[in-house]
Amino acid sequence: MFFCALGKICNYETDRHRGGENVREARRTEVIVVGAGLAGLSAALALYDRGIDVIVLEAQSRVGGKVLSVVEDGVTVDYGAQWISPHQPRMKALLARFGLTTVPTFAKGDALYVLRGDRMRGNGDRPPLGWTGKLDLFRIRRKLDKLAGTIDPGAPWKSAAAPELDALTMETWLEKAAFSTAAKSFCRAVAEEGLCARLSEVSMLDVLWDYVSAGGVDKLMTAEDEWIAGGTQQLPAKMAERLGDAVRPDNAVRTIRWGGGQVTAYTDREAWTGRRAIVAIPPTFTNRIAYEPPLPPDRDQLCQRIGQGAVIKFVLVYDTPFWRERGWSGSAYGETGPIQTVLDGTEPGQRLGVLAAMANGGHARRLGRLGKEERKTEVLRSLARFVGEKALEPVAVYEKDWSADPWIRGGYGGRFAPGVLSEFGPSLLEPVGPIHWAGAETATVWRMYMEGALQSGERAAEEVARALEAERPAGGSAARITR
């Protein structure tokens, strides 16, 4: 009995590790894409548009990854990515291609700030700081832009200042660069939200890479200027619709084996062989796949060192957008948390008022350890510090802890601690045999944003298309395989 049970366990382990290798014969395609987030879908669509046969293997039963919209009691709730900048051409073009429109983020009235325990009103151009704080903030922004200007967004590890910047966390840099506690507090409130991590967890080189990839601090400040009417998930859903049955949900890739000019991906249900693969999942997750032969040491060591950050997004519905009547835009920023950023997510013409509130990094991790009711109480109290007691009376509260999602396990994207990018950075983008890498972490424009995810997919598709072209026998042309 004991040995029989042991045998079952061993067989199960083998099956789980090798995935569909034991249950199905591999089907053929030209390119295998792993992950149907925006990066994977963008890579697949770019190849499909060129007439190259492609399949997309997705672990979950839905597409979109960190993009997830659900209609809850008649309200569209965006649990994940929601906002875009007018300076994001790929998002704009793709939305237009699929007939989707954006709504400007409500910005009439003041933003609210809770800095060092005090509630203040202000806005992006008029931060609520005394004149020393304002002067200091101006200096900090100038320094950030100047430093970001020294970084090559295509290969930040090559920049002359990379070793020095990669030896610092943003916290140590800020402590040295700023002289006013008010300006430091303001910077912490804004930066921790974007990083989904404490400033003491993230390398300054990683932070500057974000800034330069977005086109500088001013452009980065426009990241939340618009949002997608009717829910962001319409975008990945339309992309997947275009790809048809090439998108294969409920197919977590467990093993990738390559050699002899081909690559095979095994899931628990299917196996696919192609000439190239694009792995479009966060680098941390790329290390949860078994590779045969194994990945080079530098690639594996890189992935061992990336933390995914943490975020819980709360969507709060009120009987009216009451903050607007009080002359507040609904935007709010705080250092002390647990809520650090709030934005108005009320659809135009909607009677109800909707606020989207984010707890990030250490705040998200602490809230995640509480029970649901305790967490809700803390979140409402935190919101009340921004918009007053009325915040305590929502009609509904929705939440998603993305660290608890087994296929996301973190925040907006992977973050690099000091020393990682300068030592292992090149392995982030370098293909391994026929395996190419995509995902918002590998973007060189708008890293960790939806725009970056799209660009990373396009870049990987371009690499693959070039490689296939180079390998094609003279006179041959691309042909879609009939399955």
Ligand X SMILES: Cc1cc2nc3c(=O)[nH]c(=O)nc-3n(C[C@H](O)[C@H](O)[C@H](O)COP(=O)(O)OP(=O)(O)OC[C@H]3O[C@@H](n4cnc5c(N)ncnc54)[C@H](O)[C@@H]3O)c2cc1C
Residues that constitute the known binding site for FAD: 58-59, 253, 441
Q: Which is nearer to ligand X, 272 or 412 (CB)?
A: 412
In the block, residue with structure tokens 């140590």: 172
Torsion sign across C-alpha atoms 370, 376, 380, 383: positive
Q: Which two tokens stand for residue 206?
A: 């990683």
Site for ligand X in 441-460 (CB under 6 A): 448-450, 453
Q: Which two tokens stand for residue 460?
A: 């990987």
Asked if 80 and 66 count as a contact pair (C-beta separation under 8 A), the reply is yes
Q: Using the rule CB under 6 A, which residue among 20, 128, 194, 282 binds ligand X? A: 282
Q: How many helices (H) and strands (E) does the chain have?
A: 17, 24
In the block, residue with structure tokens 């409920």: 250
Q: Using the rule CB under 6 A, which residue among 31, 44, 60, 210 binds ligand X? A: 60
Q: Using the rule CB under 6 A, which residue among 31, 46, 54, 57 binds ligand X? A: 57
Backbone φ, ψ for residue 271 (5° rounding): -140, 135
Site for ligand X in 123-162 (CB under 6 A): none
How far is Cα 150 from Cα 205, in angstroms, rounded to an integer?
11
How far is Cα 26 from Cα 24, in angstroms, rounded to an integer?
6
How far is Cα 64 from Cα 46, in angstroms, rounded to an integer?
17
Are β-strands 271-274 and 262-266 bridged in parallel, bridged antiparallel, or unpaired?
antiparallel
**Cα distances (Å, whole numbers) of residue 47 to 76, 251, 480:** 32, 20, 10
Q: Using the rule CB under 6 A, which residue among 43, 45, 66, 437 binds ligand X? A: 66
How far is Cα 424 from Cα 415, in angstroms, rounded to an integer?
13
User: How many Cβ atoms from other residues are within 10 Å of residue 215's Cβ?
Assistant: 16
Backbone φ, ψ for residue 355 (5° rounding): -115, 135
Q: Which is nearer to ligand X, 208 or 311 (CB)?
A: 311
How far is Cα 239 from Cα 64, in angstroms, rounded to an integer?
10
Q: Which is nearer to ligand X, 137 or 357 (CB)?
A: 357
> Taking CB under 6 A as the rule, does residue 253 contact ligand X?
yes
> Taking CB under 6 A as the rule, does residue 81 contact ligand X?
yes
Q: Which is nearer to ligand X, 129 or 461 (CB)?
A: 461
State the minimum distance, in angstroms, from the CB of residue 375 to ligand X. Answer: 16
What value does the CA radius of gyration of the chain take, rounded to a whole number of Å?
23
State the minimum distance, in angstroms, from the CB of residue 320 to ligand X. Answer: 24
Site for ligand X in 400-429 (CB under 6 A): 402, 407-408, 411-413
State the minimum distance, in angstroms, from the CB of residue 245 to ligand X. Answer: 16
State the minimum distance, in angstroms, from the CB of residue 232 to ligand X. Answer: 8
**Cα distances (Å, whole numbers) of residue 220 to 107, 141, 381:** 17, 12, 29
By the 10 Å C-beta count (0-12 exposed, 13-18 middle, 19+ buried), 160 is classed as exposed
> Taking CB under 6 A as the rule, does residue 39 contact ligand X?
yes
State the minimum distance, in angstroms, from the CB of residue 228 to ligand X. Answer: 10
Asked if 265 and 258 count as a contact pair (C-beta separation under 8 A), the reply is no
Considering only CA atoms, which of 83, 92, 10, 473 is closest in space to residue 261?
473
Q: Which is nearer to ligand X, 136 or 210 (CB)?
A: 210
> Taking CB under 6 A as the rule, does residue 283 contact ligand X?
no
> Taking CB under 6 A as the rule, does residue 109 contact ligand X?
no
State the minimum distance, in angstroms, from the CB of residue 121 to ligand X. Answer: 24
Asked if 445 and 316 count as a contact pair (C-beta separation under 8 A), the reply is no
> Taking CB under 6 A as the rule, does residue 276 contact ligand X?
no
> Taking CB under 6 A as the rule, does residue 65 contact ligand X?
yes
Binding-residue pattern over the window 294 to 333 for ligand X, x denoting contact by CB under 6 A: -----------------x-x--------------------
- The count of residues interacting with ligand X (CB under 6 A) is 40
Q: Which is nearer to ligand X, 173 or 416 (CB)?
A: 416
Q: Using the rule CB under 6 A, which residue among 209, 285, 318, 424 binds ligand X? A: 285
State the minimum distance, in angstroms, from the CB of residue 479 to ligand X. Answer: 26
Q: Which residues contact 117 (CB under 8 A, 6 or more apart)?
A: 336
How far is Cα 7 from Cα 13, in angstroms, rounded to an integer?
10
Q: Using the rule CB under 6 A, which residue among 31, 32, 34, 303 binds ligand X? A: 34
Q: Using the rule CB under 6 A, which residue among 316, 440, 460, 464 binds ligand X? A: 440
> Taking CB under 6 A as the rule, does residue 342 contact ligand X?
no
Asked if 42 and 458 count as a contact pair (C-beta separation under 8 A), the reply is yes
Q: Which residues contact 267 (CB under 8 A, 6 or more apart)?
A: 19, 20, 57, 251, 252, 253, 254
Span interacting with ligand X, options 25-33, 238-246, 282-290, 415-423, rule CB under 6 A: 282-290
Q: Using the rule CB under 6 A, which residue among 18, 19, 32, 80 binds ligand X? A: 80
Binding-residue pattern over the window 350 to 389 for ligand X, x denoting contact by CB under 6 A: ----------------------------------------
> Taking CB under 6 A as the rule, does residue 59 contact ligand X?
yes
Give the interface with ligand X as residue ranges (CB under 6 A): 34-40, 57-60, 65-67, 80-84, 252-253, 280-282, 285, 289, 311, 313, 402, 407-408, 411-413, 439-440, 448-450, 453
